[in-house]
Every structure is written in C-alpha cells, then in structure tokens.
Structure 1
Amino acid sequence: MNKITLAHEIVEIGRRIYQSGFVAANDGNISARVDEEHVMITPSGVSKGFMKADSMLLIHLASGEVVDGVGRPSTEGAMHFDIYKHRPDVRAIVHAHPPTATGFAVAGIPLDQLAMPELIVSMGTIPLAPYGTPGTAELPETLRPFYEEHDAILLANHGAVAMGRTLTEALFKMESVEMCAKILFTARMLGRVRELPDEQVNKLVEARSFYGLQGAHPGKKIIQQRRDKGEKK
C-alpha cells in the first residue's frame, strides 16, 4: 500500500475510534508499517476525529526519527515501535481508551474469563499489563511479556492496545475488546459470569484453524492459566 493511501486509511480509523467514543480530545494513537524500515504514525496533540492525511509522520523504525512530515510523533510512539520490532507479523496498531475496557484496566481486572465463544476463538483472553508511565520506556517494557500470545492488551490505569495485519483488523480487535468488557460488566452486574467448561473452550480454540484465523493467541495455554488460578471447570 502506498503512503498516501495508508495516510487516508489512518485518518478513517481515527475518525471511527473518535465517533465510537474510544478516545476524547487528543487521546489515542494509530500507526501502520509502510515497509520493513518505516512506520507511519499519528502526530502528537491532534484529535483522532479531525486528522488530515498530510499530517501523518513517517518514522524510521530503528532510530525513531521523523523522515517525512512536520511535528512530533505520538508520545506513545515507543510502544508502537517496540511492538513492531518484536512482532514482524503486525502491520498496524491502534491505542485507545475505550471506556468500559479502560474501566477494567483501572480496576486492575484482566478480560480473561472464558465466557464468550467469539472472543475465545479470535483472541483467547485479553491480559492486563502492569502500569508503565505513558510516553516513557517503562510502557513497552510492561507489555513485552504479552506480545507473543496476545494481539490485544489492557494497559493498567491507561487503556488498551490492539494489533493486526491491517488497520481495519486492529480496529476490529479494539472493538472486540470493548464489547467483551461491556458484556462481562453486564454479567457481573447481573450477579454471575458463567464460564464455558474446558472441553468447550478446547473446541473453540481448535476452531481457529477452520476459520483460517491468524495472529497471536494463547491457545490451549488459556486452560492451563485457568487451572493455575484454581478454577478448573
């Protein structure tokens, strides 16, 4: 995809997360790989709902320096660049503050209850990374343990980050994070989250190959994680 098309796509994704209420004011950031050496990212201090394609910045991935465009890259650029360096399959990243999911992050609660088939198939679970100061090297350091098996991560007291092979895929994963949080919150308010038994979870994990799904996924480790917490079902 050429740079002009990619810039317009980033603008569209920004408009969508703004209209969905996933960001307010100048919150959030979006990026995409241009090639193996360069990343396009949103500038700092710009509302994601009112961006222009010619404001996007082209960054050299290894150095983090701006090679095209005017302004400063997003303050969360280090997080984006670190993900790309460790996950060569990731081509796009969306960071936002979806309200319900961020509420779980502020409460210190991961989205790891195995209750929704669609989420189990697509992403497995959504872990909670420890707090790292936004805009510093602390943040990517807290995320690295989760890169290998997860395409979406809650950031403690901060928000969420979603990764994909395309910008649209990263957006859809962010939408799934928020939908998962809303459903789990509702179930908790009703007094119970009824999780699926191990046998059904295993069937759903195995269904990934049938649907041809790609990306990071904890696979059958999610059952072991449940058992490690003493929640065998």
Structure 2
Amino acid sequence: MRNAGRMPFEHERADMASIVKFIMERFDTNVAGGNFSFKVVDRDGDYGEIGKEYIIMTPTMMSEAYLGTLTAAQILVVEPHTRKIIDGVGNLTREINMHEAVYDANPDIKAILHGHAKEQLSWATMGVPIPNLTEATQKVKGVEVLPFRHNCSEEIAEMVGAHVAKLGDAALMHEYLLNSHGTMITVGGKNMSGLTAIHKAVSVVDTMEYNAHIAYEQTMLQLQGSLDGYYSKGIKIGTVEDVFKDHKAIYNDKSNLELEVKS
C-alpha cells in the first residue's frame, strides 16, 4: 500500500534535484540542459507492484525554464515504455527514447547522464575522441565519438542503443561523445543501486571535464612542437595523429605493475 502523505521515491528525487544544481554550478552542462535518469525498484509495492522498476528522470526544460534549481516534486517518476508519469510536476523530455534504448540494450545499466559539459563539448563538436589521460579517469577507458544524429530523434536512440549493446559489460562504466550534441555516461552493475550509479556518473562527468582540458593543453603543446605525444602515468600513449586522423580513443591501458617495472 502506498505510504500516505509521502511522495513516491522522495529521497531519490531530492537527491536528483541536488545533482542537477551541482552539475549546473560545475559547468558540467549548460542552459540547453541535458537529461539525467536512474532506475529505482518498488521494493514493497507502495506504488503498484512489488519489484516493479521505474525511472527517476529530470523534466524537460530543467535548465532553461528553472535554471537548474528544481525541487524533489519536479523530478519525474516514469513507467518505462508506457512513458506514463507516475508522479512529478513537469513534462517528459523527448530524449526518453535514448534512455529507454540504453536501458533495453543492457539491463544492468542503472543510470544515464547526458549533458553538455563545457570542455568535453568542444571535443564532441570536433567529432574526435577525448584522449583519456588522468589517473582519476582511467576507469572510464577509451572515450569514443559517435556519428552525428539529430537530438531527440529515433535515429540517435537506435544508434546509441546498438552501440551500448555491442559494448556489453564495458558499458557499465563508460563515457561517449555524441557528435556536436554532448556527452553521455552509463553506469551500472547487477547489484548496484540506481542512486549509487547516478553519483558515480556525476563523478565521471566532473573528472572527465578536467581531463578534457588537460587533453586540449597536451594537444596544443604537440602542435607547437614542445611535446611529442599524449602522456599518461609517465608514459607516451599516443599522438595527435592517432586522435585527429585515426580517431583512436586512447587511454593508458598499462597495469600499475608494468609501469613500476619500467620506472
């Protein structure tokens, strides 16, 4: 039975509202917004059927209309596929199709964060992968760029869903560039909660924002002739040609043990 007088998934929605504000303040998205979601499960049947999955999702216009300042009540509780809003004040983003395609492609994915992070968006508009160089971001591995498809279209949903399915478990901690559109991060695991997953996604977008700037600086140093490649953990892992000509999503895939031996 539903808890009288309480919003469905009140704690989770309040947390999501805080995430939106944090991401806006950190320039991890802009006034054009983006959209964030994570899965929740009705453990006790308070809102319908025991064990039923719902999606906690930001409403459309979260940034332009509300400047990133939302209440828990404005965060939506959505029934997958029917797209019925179970609770929440606001309208559903048209990019729900991309979120559904990702969750369908890999049910172990528990959170999706799509935004327009300032530094990362520059790489997305160039249509080239971000060299992943910092120690804090190596868990994300290679950050590839996907071909341009119009935002909110069925084409972008189908393309992203197919790519996520192809990645398999690698999609459980991964970032993608959407050409000229922005970034997308997927996080999950069989036993991971959606709330944990969305917090991990926030960590990824913020640390990758620093990495994107560092990658730009190393790119400029190479073009100026002061550096002979991209460096990570003390070793050279690629060059400008690898990234801009061959579109390689480079990162330091050497183990710590290998690095210790070389040093």
Q: Tell me, which stretches of 5 or more residues in structure 1 are unaligned?
A: 208-233
Question: How far apart are 1:74 and its partner, in Å?
Answer: 1.8
Q: Which moved more, 1:156-165 or 1:70-79?
A: 70-79
Map of 1:175 onto structure 2:
206
Q: Are 2:230 and 1:194 aligned?
A: yes
Select the structure of larger CA radius of gyration.
2
Partner residue in 2 for 1:153:
176
Aligned mates of 1:161, 1:32 — CA distance in 2? 13
Change (3 A) 1:109 1:39: same
How many residues of Structure 1 are paired with residues of Structure 2 in the alignment? 203
For the 8 Å contact 2:230–2:236, the answer to whether it is kept is no
User: What is the CA–CA distance in structure 2 between the aligned matches of 1:46 and 1:98, rounded to whole Å?
Assistant: 15
CA contact (8 A) 1:79 1:139 kept: yes
* C-alpha contact 1:31 1:41 (8 A) present in aligned 2: yes
1:132 to 146, 149, 169: 149
Q: Would the alpha carbon gap of residues 79 and 204 (structure 1) be closer, same or farther in structure 2, given more than 3 Å must change?
A: farther
Residues 188-217 of structure 1: CA distance to partner in whole angstroms, max 9, x if unpaired? Answer: 11224334468x72315999xxxxxxxxxx
Query: Would you say the 8 A contact 1:90–1:164 is kept in 2?
Result: yes
Contact map agreement 2:30 2:117 (CA 8 A) in 1: no
Distance 2:258 2:84 in 1: 42
Query: Superposed, which structure 2 residues align to 1:190-229 within 5 Å?
Result: 190-191=221-222, 192=227, 193-195=229-231, 196=235, 201-203=253-255
Deviations 1:76-119, CA, capped at 9 Å, x for gaps = 211112111222222222111111111001001112x4644443
Counterparts of 1:194 and 1:50 in 2: how far apart (Å)?
39
Query: Are 1:127 and 1:146, in contact at CA under 8 Å, matched by a contact in 2?
Result: no
- Contact between 1:90 and 1:163, CA under 8 Å: does it hold in 2? yes
Select between 99-108 and 139-148 the one with higher mean Cα deviation: 139-148
2-structure distance, mates of 1:6, 1:34: 8
Aligned to 2:44: none
The yes-or-no answer on 1:51 pairing with 2:70 is: yes
Find out whether 1:37 has 2:53 as its counterpart.
yes
TM-score (norm 1): 0.78
User: Identity over the aligned pairs, expressed in percent?
Assistant: 22
Separation in 2, partners of 1:41, 1:116:
30
Instruction: Please report how far the alpha carbon of residue 15 of structure 1 lies from its aligned counterpart in structure 2 after TM superposition.
Output: 0.6
Structure that is richer in strand per residue: 2
Runs of 4+ in 1 over 6 A off after TM superposition: none
The code of the aligned residue for 1:156 comes to: N
- Residue 141 in structure 1 maps to residue 158 in structure 2: yes
In structure 2, runs of 5+ residues without a counterpart are 1-7, 42-51, 189-196, 238-251
Change (3 A) 1:204 1:85: farther
Equivalent residue number for residue 87 of structure 1: 106
